[in-house]
Structure 1
């Protein structure tokens, strides 16, 4: 297997709006991140992924960009960014930018020109269509609910927006547009940024038929995803990005790709494909979704989670690379979802960390994950800020007929704002995030869960993450070892091995709050075993065969 720095890295995602506010306006900013670089360096991460910091009217918290080469006023200035970039590099770390090029803000100059006239040179930078018998061009539903088309009275046509109506989709069929995007990417790379996380990048190629999508049960609009996910020219476009821009720099790339399969991911990340290094897939995040998608609950089993993660581990082995994540700015907190955020919060947070970080791939930590931050249960929909959450509440209550209680329960479990409450730095007012009024309320449990307490406790979740990152730097097997699942049908224990050269890793993780007995293949018991890490004591030699404690994890090096 080819060795690369980005395979050996550990990435930490910063959501700037919620990370650290330096000027008291209630909004996190670049200088706030600068203040906390020593904390990130102490944790041991190599790469900081910044969610969008570009100029934006914030309809979708920065994922609606109005100027790719300016910094959002609330976050600071371009000079502040350059100072942050230098400080990161001085500490031996790197910065990966969020690249959002499926769409822009409707306040971007390109779109203002595009909508000004059907004859404007930039008209074709976006996707405009005439109506269909007085209705939208097709029946596609927006990811954020409602129609994916918005009527423009000025030119009597509709434009496509797969997300908010303030996020019009770019037309990648237009070569001049692509050249402008490549120029912008080069501008950032010349400044010294170290890579891109590419937002919904597998949406950029649309099937030019723009056919109606299937309408599922109790839906008002059709599912257009077969016509815009992994579209007909997507590999051509990504190879062009690589040839024109990425191949000229030693950078890291990851593409966010809803609806991608392992077979498609092999094409996106294959060694000789010249596209991307890895993808974010969502199969393990979609577990438990019902007829209304993530807002409705369906039964799921640990064996389902193991099957999905194992499929990705073996599917990309030797020809491709996995991204490893439990959390990001769009997902609920993992300790509340797959762990136990009550009695066993600390144990389950550590177990989930070990389970993920010992897989093959590049691990991503989302801010606060290393503290065991939990979901939030705001009492009123008025306390939420996320556009998807607000639109979904409206649809579930007023179109689907859900009770407000049922809807709020679903939002408590799955809202994106679970990840967006401010970072909990200490037990002072507003968790030390801001001296002003935070843009979204702080989780009330900040007096118990915060970075200062975790940093000062050698047995905390923070120090467990630090140890995991340290082990990754010490043992090549954690990065490059081959994966093999054990006990596939066990509904309590996720167990697997990694093999590299003459060594093996054995990873045992109990996902339940009761003791879990297990048996192992005799071949594994014949090895000399050293326990590398665990959440119920970390020392010892030999494989302990007594049942795993509630949410216990054990990682052994076998020789």
Structure 2
């Protein structure tokens, strides 16, 4: 889930059978039409979306008040970040009660109303479920730490102190990066791969698994449409605790991911919950290879159903990234799943800084066009697009100067670690302006009123000062805005199945600036041209495609002259995106 985790992981996003009563005809080899393949998934961060009661924190009633906005986007599914009861050490990813709503967010009645409102608007709801670990304030853990003989003791991983210090394990969020936390109550250490307030659950215990399946059934019975299983590839652990080589923490996923019994757990999840409720399931983590991913998601294995490649998000650096490498990653994953399995496409989420800052150009000159270009990429690739809230406005990094302004537990603990070890604090502060997760979590910018229309109180996290010009109200009225461009893209994708199921073929793979590809379905062929640079770049389509008839421009983030539309040798402006329908 988190910045360091996501930078080294592949994210396995997998789907079980869906609510569709009848299957549509096959459209490509080994590919059946399904609603989740045709969906546009919008990730919504509840804490920052809309506050209804003035406490400075987004809530469920706030989301309900904006349901028509969500419908206007053309999205067909919403993934909610955790809304369960939590002490908020890691903004809800430390759950203390899986069957209750966090009081700051509202009540279960509010959730029921939200679910009903979403469904009335044709929007499916995906819940985030964190079952690699719980909060240390969960009743299970309170009982587990109370006594070595307590019936909940084996719900977590404990190591008695009289046996000496356990085999070292790396923690992503701990201030000392030590995943074993000493607890004096029973003179033992407990395991936490993330914050010390997030003890890892022991999935080898069948009682833990039964508890999780019960939780999933509770929400499925309410009528939700899917789950995202957070950090699930870490749930299976080698509890003989073998020693890892020096420096393993630099590639810890190689040692933490896809441990013993993981596939047994996935099969059991499918048998006990997914197959019975026909809900979509999203599992974060696809292992370390294509084989790992296929072992999780190939339909014949009856585990999970759709794969999500995550390695592309690690490309973004302050000093730029290689477009050739970006093309290589997405093309490689598309090829691996061309005839079996399914991909998801994304470049941003709650664990990343803002899309346009990381992969585009958020300067005043190029923010809008580069944001539109990136949206075009996400919405025209083969696979299910995942799109993070606020990116449709082209929201940018906030770049806060003081550590006191940050909220992210990983950032705050890393700062403390560097202070304690004499690390380079100025460099760290400069780096987090680009990379910190809080950049992507600043409140949604609704309008140019106080606090961007997000809250009447003091916002839980600073609001980006550029809200006065970058906001939904202003863009809603502007037909050329990034918001309305995104709406046009969702409609284009919805109306043209070639953008969903069509074969993907990369063109000019060694071009350092242009990402060009075709999508082909039956006798229909489309061409996508994306300029990832701030320069005018020529691209001669005739070198790659010889269409018999005049290309038909379907969408572009610039106004394109009629003469330029009909030519085959194009000059793409900075961050220009064009999508053509070809005849052949």
TM-score range, shorter chain: over 0.9
1:78 partnered with 2:108: yes
C-alpha displacement of 1:279: 3.8
**Partner residue of 2:171?**
142
When structure 1 is superposed on structure 2, of 297-306 and 178-187 the one drifting more is 297-306
- Aligned pairs for 1:197-276 within 5 A: 197-216=228-247, 224-257=252-285, 260-276=288-304
Question: TM-score of the superposition, structure 1-length normalised?
Answer: 0.94
Taking the aligned partners of 2:231 and 2:288, their CA distance within structure 1 comes to 11
Q: 1:118 to 1:445 in 2, by over 3 A?
A: same
Q: Select 1:287's aligned residue among 290, 315, 324.
A: 315
Taking the aligned partners of 1:132 and 1:433, their CA distance within structure 2 comes to 53
- Aligned pairs for 1:155-166 within 5 A: 155-166=186-197
**Partner residue of 1:19?**
49
Taking the aligned partners of 1:386 and 1:465, their CA distance within structure 2 comes to 29
C-alpha displacement of 1:523: 6.0
Q: 1:199 to 1:539 in 2, by over 3 A?
A: farther
C-alpha displacement of 1:400: 5.7
| SS of structure 2 residue aligned to 1:410 | helix
Q: 1:143 to 1:132 in 2, by over 3 A?
A: farther
1:532 partnered with 2:554: yes
Taking the aligned partners of 1:7 and 1:519, their CA distance within structure 2 comes to 32
C-alpha displacement of 1:139: 1.6
**Partner residue of 2:372?**
350
CA contact (8 A) 2:229 2:283 kept: yes
- Alpha-carbon deviations, 1:199-227, whole Å to 9, x = none? 011111112222233333xx9x7865333
Q: Unaligned regions of 5+ residues in structure 1, if any?
A: 290-296
- Alpha-carbon deviations, 1:218-275, whole Å to 9, x = none? x9x7865333211121111111101110011232222111754333222222232222
Q: 1:76 to 1:109 in 2, by over 3 A?
A: same
C-alpha displacement of 1:538: 6.3
CA contact (8 A) 2:286 2:296 kept: no
**Partner residue of 2:520?**
499
1:414 partnered with 2:421: no
When structure 1 is superposed on structure 2, of 19-28 and 538-547 the one drifting more is 538-547
Taking the aligned partners of 1:69 and 1:538, their CA distance within structure 2 comes to 53
| SS of structure 1 residue aligned to 2:462 | coil
- Alpha-carbon deviations, 1:527-554, whole Å to 9, x = none? 4321111111268653542221000011
Taking the aligned partners of 1:167 and 1:490, their CA distance within structure 2 comes to 45
Q: Unaligned regions of 5+ residues in structure 2, if any?
A: 1-30
Taking the aligned partners of 2:439 and 2:192, their CA distance within structure 1 comes to 25
C-alpha displacement of 1:194: 0.5
**Partner residue of 1:387?**
409
| SS of structure 2 residue aligned to 1:119 | coil
**Partner residue of 1:558?**
582
| SS of structure 1 residue aligned to 2:32 | coil
Question: TM-score of the superposition, structure 2-length normalised?
Answer: 0.90
Q: 1:239 to 1:161 in 2, by over 3 A?
A: same
1:545 partnered with 2:576: no
1:130 partnered with 2:160: yes
Q: Select 1:360's aligned residue among 374, 382, 403.
A: 382
Taking the aligned partners of 2:464 and 2:167, their CA distance within structure 1 comes to 41
C-alpha displacement of 1:346: 0.3
Number of aligned residue pairs? 547
Taking the aligned partners of 2:340 and 2:402, their CA distance within structure 1 comes to 48
User: Which structure has the higher relative contact order (CA within 8 Å, separation 6+)?
Assistant: 2
When structure 1 is superposed on structure 2, of 439-448 and 512-521 the one drifting more is 512-521
**Partner residue of 1:193?**
224
RMSD: 1.8
**Partner residue of 2:463?**
442
**Partner residue of 1:373?**
395
